[in-house]
Structure 1
């Protein structure tokens, strides 16, 4: 192919249209924020920033970052979003300002090293303040009007710990606050001299690790959540008029507030501190406050303003005065990383990548967003049905509604990994393979267990497929065996064990006629098995670790992917190589899927990309960008409406499949398959009319129909 043809192919590649993302980056501190319109919430997921209407649940995706989003904030008017990223050692970490209305990048600067831990806008939206991570530890002030950095300074002194949070007052645009491990500062910007001045907060002998900071509407007081489990209240001492900001005093500690014991019958007579620290704060009117703790506790508290230093029966540990009194409380049972209040609801984000909605009056908890918290291993659609799909991961199987992106069912098997999940052809069972060596079947409606094959493989089940009638299962194990099972609700019988692989079996697929199966292994072999005679029909050798193997719809060809970064086309009959495509320039290709009509294939690889290919031409038509982790699997629904991809960080991306599928190839595939099956049946041992020559001739005819199109010109 000449240069001109290559350039044309590159130009034809388009981006996949993203419908929705199931996931929430719970590890991003204060990553869940609310839009000023009180209708939308904004949060990161990998390299994407998701703007979601809280009522309709409709998602809009803001830009695409090169790396994981580590910090996010929104301006007072809601016009701009600022995000920070995490990069590798030795690289600059960019801060990007997005125009939310026009949905494009407004400005971008790369000054910090490796990671940006916090960003904030000034009240007049003129300045952006960004805070570098441990390897940077600098605070930068960026001017949006002049598109330049005004000034910067080390965020801490040589004897102080790491700075982790930043906050801006609403009435003073030239001031901002930073806090961290043993440090709490107020900063003043002098634009004329392009310098920064700071003052340490006056806290006396009190030593705290500040995790979050909020300022009241009048800019008189600031509240700091600490790792100790109490709340520090300080007087800001800002200038009375926003323009008189040349001189300012240090914030002064008023008190450290802890909880009155929840139970009146508590005999300890000591104050309560929040376990694992106060991670998030939100101020309400009438001197009320919402506190989110590291143990998942969410409290509505009121500050007790009593003159008495020591309430009756409670021993005060300096300087916990006055105390906080619980008004309402609940728990989300996971470390809280974000907390916002919108429309009489408390929206809470947790470290377990879940978002909860808590009614402000009743404190009733509702799970709003959930996802896998770790690597996802497999995807499965029911036969000819695209409205639901299932995913498998650590400890669980989850069934999702494709249109609403909501979880319908969760099947938990603690302490084990589900490596493969699939639906039976009739849709009456979910069959799964686990790393503890078992094969388990569940009901798709309730998740109730139907049957279990104990010790299906000695070192865990790594691959599996089921025949169309649901009566046989072919499984592969980490010890290298391929086993054939006859299954029913009453009994599960081992028909045979095939021992030719010398490594973990990575992928298995059964042919449409249910008489053959192909298995790929990390030992560099791919074997076609006769399921009726339980013998090897064909074997393929390659200098790669096979990761995925798939039959072409009519069964005449086999497609494989592996660590050699290639997509390989093989003849089923004699195992000869037809062609090879460069599946990825730099990474192994983990998964491959072929559409029902055989015209398109989809690949997922370690380069974080999802690609749609034309089968015959071997060219890429669309690329999906957005995953922050290794893309472990990708599947197309039978109707060709959806493309679902999953990754190692637990994210699920639902794309709009860009091509329309036809039924022509499926009809041809069925006719060819029936013709091949008749020939194969006549050639079985014991049949007097069998002729091996006819079998070979018909198989070659079937193969030529596709191979003539796929051979390189």
Structure 2
């Protein structure tokens, strides 16, 4: 079984049957947010705990989904950070919760519907508790702290007995290792084996992973193997037996061996912040994403592996991205446009460019199960730049950069980038409304297009590599002749920012979206009024738009987290509506063959849909 919970108006707890991949029961009593769930050792009971505002504790019967008993957290209890059930057998069950520096032991009699709690006597110890784990016999309770200590609690006496410093950066995970010792994962990336019976902890770490360890779980059917997760979005295999490697035939990148006895291999990686941009390669075999966490990642469109990653901790968030076969160009919050080569040698085509910096972590991202139209991958985090080189894959070299490409006294940031179809120039838009065209070989400014007064939200280069479409937050979208630096036309939205612009394959029709919640289709031959309008396309503002290569379908994404398709042959009738995001859709694009649609969201998720 698997239990999941959520935050929001309908913060249900769902129990899933993992064998059938189906819902087993749904519990709907919590309000605002569920902060902790946990199964008893025999899987018969499930404890669920609400946030510090709600303060309700429920114990459920997993067989029926019914409430066994309920209680309230003590007054002024902060947010619960950890929950653990005792493995001890008896007429009553016991579980522990940690909130701030308080630890409570709860006793549950499921037959009488009784629940009570005792507060652990802290003595002189004042630490913020982050994890809880019982010993194998239930006599001891181990509490990991945000200061990197492990506190040993005598369960029978209801008192804290010992405290040992184990690691730096805080404790993110505790669990029992074979033999009864305690495994401790820390914020410094170390996985430690802790023996509470020793006077002091001095053993070297078993393994070190890139990033702060936040979770770990044994792998069923593979003795001695852990799946370790980090706050930076990395997931790693950690094998307790030296030399067992990644196994299972899964793609992985060796991260190296620690001072102890564990082999560590990368399994997956993802981005941590909201996604801000998305682009397919011209061949359709890769997708690039930019993120507010200050990273740019390139993913395999077919196998969902992380191919390349670049980060600059000094540059702020990555705001936009464009991708070709051999290079990825990105715009950053510091106003700089950067280009990274996707080949280890740092070359773009036949021309070598000396590059420095750039980082990568190799990994794998898995397709979701079931459904013709379903998310193929979901991402929510990325590794810090300081840990980026640890994966052992080829580094992504920084080939060149254009400093202060979009840095003005009014605003700073390269909010949109687009490569020309032949690759000989790139266009970039800035936070202050200017559009600039750069020679790709020399990085010299070729054209400066200034009309918009607020940030550029989207840029599209037309097929002739002469004309350019721009969308802006100043309620306008425009068409430019790049060679003459001439404004061909400008149109205004009825209200608010224009969030996206898309060019039809016939190079005549243009679609724009924005705060009016509509999709507006224009004919460039007679642009004075819209050729078609799809009103109320979304329940909130429309934030992204893409045109299918076949020309008959438009896709849109909105602040309502919905992705929708529209058939223009039927006058703009709805063709499909897909749920996969939990936040506003930031960018979307069809693959070159039109069979896939990719969308990037503020929820940090990159979703690929089958639409062909």
Structure 2 partner of 1:420: 320
Structure 2 partner of 1:163: 80
Structure 1 partner of 2:229: 349
Structure 1 partner of 2:448: 497
Q: Is 1:216 equivalent to 2:135 in the alignment?
A: yes
Q: What is the distance in 1 between the residues matched to 2:262 and 2:338?
A: 39
Structure 2 partner of 1:137: 55
Q: What is the distance in 2 between the residues matched to 1:295 and 1:650?
A: 24
Q: Give the alignment's TM-score, normalised by structure 1.
A: 0.69
Deviates more, 1:632-641 or 1:276-285: 276-285
Candidates 405, 414, 420, aligned match of 1:467:
420
Q: Is 1:440 equivalent to 2:321 in the alignment?
A: no
SS of alignment partner, residue 406 of structure 2: coil
What is the count of residue pairs matched by the alignment?
528
Contact persistence 1:569–1:580 (CA under 8 A): yes
SS of alignment partner, residue 616 of structure 1: helix
Candidates 281, 287, 290, aligned match of 2:183:
290
SS of alignment partner, residue 343 of structure 2: coil
Structure 1 partner of 2:238: 358
Provide closer, same or farther for how the CA distance between residues 478 and 232 of structure 1 changes in structure 2, counting only shifts above 3 A: closer
Candidates 186, 190, 193, aligned match of 1:300:
193
Q: What is the distance in 2 between the residues matched to 1:124 and 1:299?
A: 28
Counterpart mapping for 1:235-634 below 5 A? 235-237=154-156, 251-253=158-160, 255-258=161-164, 272-304=165-197, 322-326=199-203, 328-342=205-219, 343=222, 344-361=224-241, 362-383=261-282, 385-394=283-292, 395-416=294-315, 417-424=317-324, 427-446=325-344, 447-458=396-407, 459-488=412-441, 491-544=442-495, 545-575=497-527, 576-582=529-535, 584-617=537-570, 618-634=572-588
Contact persistence 1:163–1:183 (CA under 8 A): no
Contact persistence 1:378–1:391 (CA under 8 A): yes
Provide closer, same or farther for how the CA distance between residues 178 and 554 of structure 1 changes in structure 2, counting only shifts above 3 A: same
Q: What is the distance in 2 between the residues matched to 1:176 and 1:582?
A: 54
Contact persistence 2:136–2:180 (CA under 8 A): no
Provide closer, same or farther for how the CA distance between residues 183 and 579 of structure 1 changes in structure 2, counting only shifts above 3 A: same
Deviates more, 1:635-644 or 1:448-457: 448-457
SS of alignment partner, residue 414 of structure 1: coil
Structure 2 partner of 1:103: 21
Deviations 1:126-162 (A, max 9, x none): 3221111111222112234454323211223x36554
Contact persistence 1:212–1:279 (CA under 8 A): yes
Contact persistence 2:426–2:440 (CA under 8 A): yes
Counterpart mapping for 1:222-233 below 5 A? 222-233=141-152
Contact persistence 1:165–1:180 (CA under 8 A): yes
Deviations 1:184-225 (A, max 9, x none): 333222345433123334555544443222223333333222
Provide closer, same or farther for how the CA distance between residues 333 and 190 of structure 1 changes in structure 2, counting only shifts above 3 A: same
Counterpart mapping for 1:8-27 below 5 A? none
Provide closer, same or farther for how the CA distance between residues 466 and 583 of structure 1 changes in structure 2, counting only shifts above 3 A: farther
Candidates 24, 30, 37, aligned match of 1:119:
37
Q: Give the alignment's TM-score, normalised by structure 2.
A: 0.80
Q: What is the distance in 2 between the residues matched to 1:117 and 1:375?
A: 22
C-alpha deviation, 1:399, in angstroms: 1.2
Contact persistence 1:530–1:537 (CA under 8 A): yes
Q: What is the distance in 2 between the residues matched to 1:583 and 1:448?
A: 45
C-alpha deviation, 1:466, in angstroms: 2.7
Gaps of 5+ in 2: 242-260, 345-395
Bigger share in helix: 1
Structure 2 partner of 1:706: none
The structure that has the greater radius of gyration is 1
Deviations 1:58-106 (A, max 9, x none): xxxxxxxxxxxxxxxxxxxxxx21122112xxx4632222222232222
Structure 2 partner of 1:53: none
Candidates 585, 591, 604, aligned match of 1:637:
591
C-alpha deviation, 1:449, in angstroms: 3.5
Aligned CA RMSD, in angstroms, stands at: 2.5
C-alpha deviation, 1:325, in angstroms: 4.1
SS of alignment partner, residue 85 of structure 1: coil
Give runs of ≥4 in structure 1 deviating > 6 Å: none
Structure 2 partner of 1:246: none
Q: What is the distance in 2 between the residues matched to 1:484 and 1:649?
A: 31
Q: What is the distance in 1 between the residues matched to 2:461 and 2:78?
A: 59
SS of alignment partner, residue 113 of structure 1: coil
Contact persistence 1:114–1:133 (CA under 8 A): yes
Q: What is the distance in 2 between the residues matched to 1:285 and 1:333?
A: 24
C-alpha deviation, 1:525, in angstroms: 1.7
Q: What is the distance in 2 between the residues matched to 1:120 and 1:351?
A: 21
